[in-house]
Structure 1
Amino acid sequence: MNEGEFMRQLGRYPVVRKKTHCRVQWNDMYDDEPSAQPASSGIFLPAGQESVIKATDSVEDALEKFLAPYFSSQEAAKIQRELNKAQRVFVSSLSLEDVNDLCAQFVSSK
């Protein structure tokens, strides 16, 4: 793969390259005009699964619904446990400055 092909492929996923991609997705979920929002590209939700996961679902419920088409219930439970472990490690590694930066993103966003 040459550099041009790499840049073309990289350009297909602009949200993933942003440092705050989770915040950007969350804020985009509540646009004033939901009909103007494009359908999911299938990067974060499988095609056809957009209507299954609701904004009111908890993270655990949404993850379970997302994983259901691809993994058995035992595998999905293991993935959820590993995600919880990784999240605890990540949160415990945050410094006060990191927490302030995260809070500033949400305060200034809307």
Structure 2
Amino acid sequence: MGNLDYSLSLYLTNKQVFLGPEIVQLMQLIQSQGSLTLAASAMGISYNKAWRLVHQAEQALARPLVVSNTGGINGGGSSLTAEGQRLMVKYLRWQSLTQSVVRQYFKQIFEDES
């Protein structure tokens, strides 16, 4: 059968998709970079797209995930709210557990029998 591989993307929904690989990656980068602008740049997406991803997730959940601080002596910045942090950690745990199970089934079903 050759070298088969797979891809799995997980999404949380609440009548609409609000959390998936792209927004979680953005949240991780906001946490590490301290800035929505820097996180968007690191992902290779526009600031506007990054802002829309965050805004759509926040609207679907009816709670803030990211807080932004403007200007000041140290400049602006962004960080995750406690809820944003909690949800990101839970999503990453769910993703890890799911990937592990999928990997087992993939090997069981598609591994060549030599």
- The TM-score range, normalised by the shorter chain, is under 0.3
TM-score normalised by length of structure 1: 0.28
Say which structure, 1 or 2, has more relative contact order (CA 8 Å, 6+ apart): 2
TM-score normalised by length of structure 2: 0.27
Question: Which protein has the bigger strand share?
Answer: 2
